[in-house]
Chains A and B, each alone.
Chain A
Amino acid sequence: MNSTAYNYQNDISIRTEGLTKRFGNFTAVDNITFHVKKGEIFGFLGANGAGKTTAIKMLCGLSKPTSGIAMVAGYDVATQAEHIKKNIGYMSQKFALYDDLKVWENMRLYAGIYGMKEKIIAYRINEILMQLGFENEKNTFVKTLPIGWKQKLAFSISIIHQPEIVFLDEPTGGVDPAARRQFWELIYATAEKGITVFVTTHYMDEAEYCNRICMLVDGKIVALDSPKKLKDTFSAQNIDKVFRLLARNTNRT
Chain B
Amino acid sequence: MIQKKYSPFLSFVRKEFFHIFRDRWTSIILLIMPILMIILFGFAITTEVKNAKIAIFDPSQDAATHAIVDKLSTSEYFTIETYVYSQNEMDNLFRKRNIGLIVVFSEHFYENMMHGGDAKIQLIADGSDPNYAYTLTQYASALLGSYQQENISHNFNPPFQIETTIKMLYNPTLKGAYNTVPGVLGMVLMLICAMMTSISIAREKEFGNMEVLLVSPLKPITIILSKTVPYIVLSLINFTSIMLLAVFALKVPIVGNILLIALISLIFIFLSLALGLLISTIVKTQIVAMLISGVVLMFPVILLSGMIFPVESMGVFFQYLAKVLPANWYIAAIRKVMIQGLGISSVSKELIVLISMAVLLIAISIKKFKVRIE
A112 with B8, Cβ < 8 A, contacts A82-B217, A94-B207, A105-B18 known: yes
Report the stretch among B48-56, B96-104, B109-117, B208-216 that lies at the interface: B208-216
Mask of A132-175 contacts with B, CB within 8 angstroms, 1/0: 00000000000000000000000000100000000101000000
Classify the interface of chain B: helix, strand, loop or mixed: helix
Q: State whether the Cβ of B157 lies closer than 8 Å to any Cβ in chain A.
A: no
**Residues 1-55 (chain B) with a chain A CB within 8 angstroms:** 3-8, 10-12, 14-15, 18-19, 22-23
Interface residues of A in 89-131 (CB under 8 A from B): 90-101, 105, 108-119, 121
Chain B contact residue count (CB 8 A cutoff): 28
Residue of A with least CB distance to B222:
A113
B374 within 8 A of A: yes
Query: Do residues A117 and B215 form an inter-chain contact, with CB atoms below 8 A?
Result: no
Q: Does B233 contact A (CB under 8 A)?
A: no
Known contacts A90-B211, A96-B208, A96-B211: A117-B15 contact under CB 8 Å: no
* Per-residue A-contact encoding for B201-232, CB less than 8 Å = 1, 0 else: 00000011101111111100000000000000
* With A109-B12, A113-B216: A118-B209 Cβ-Cβ less than 8 Å: no
Shortest A115–chain B CB gap in Å is: 6
**Cross-chain contact A101 with B5 (CB below 8 angstroms):** no
Q: What does the 1/0 interface line of A161-201 toward B look like (CB < 8 Å)?
A: 00000010100000000000000000000000000000000
CB distance from A46 to the nearest CB of B (A): 18
- Is there a chain A Cβ closer than 8 Å to B259's Cβ? no
Most buried by A among B11, B211, B212: B212
Q: A60 vs B212: C-alpha distance in the bound complex, in angstroms?
A: 10
How distant is the Cα of A85 from the Cα of B4 in the complex, in angstroms?
A: 22
CB distance from A104 to the nearest CB of B (A): 13
**Are B214 and A62 in contact, with the CB atoms below 8 A?**
yes
B373 beta carbon closer than 8 Å to chain A: yes
Complex CA gap A99/B207 in Å reads: 10
Decide yes or no whether A217 CB sits under 8 A from chain B.
no
| Partner pick for B217 among A64, A91, A92, A113, CB 8 A cutoff | A113
Which residue from A94, A96, A112 sits with its C-beta under 8 Å from B7? Answer: A112
Q: Are A118 and B4 also in contact (CB < 8 A) when A62-B373, A88-B215 are?
A: yes
Is B6 a contact of A108 with CB atoms below 8 Å? Answer: yes
Interface residues of A (CB under 8 A from B): 60-64, 82, 85-86, 88, 90-101, 105, 108-119, 121, 158, 167, 169
Task: Write the chain B residue with the least CB distance to A89.
Answer: B215
* Contact in complex: B374, A112 (CB < 8 Å): no
Instruction: Report how far A97 CA is from B19 CA in the complex, Å.
Output: 13
Judging by beta carbons under 8 Å apart, are A115 and B211 in contact? Answer: no
Q: Tell me the nearest residue of chain B to A100, going by C-beta.
A: B22
Find chain B residues with CB under 8 A from A169 CB.
211
CA distance A85 to B218 in the complex (A): 9
The answer for the CA separation of A88 and B6 in the assembled complex, in Å, is: 19
List residues of chain B with CB within 8 A of the CB of A119: 3-4
Q: Are the CB atoms of A90 and B212 closer together than 8 Å? A: yes
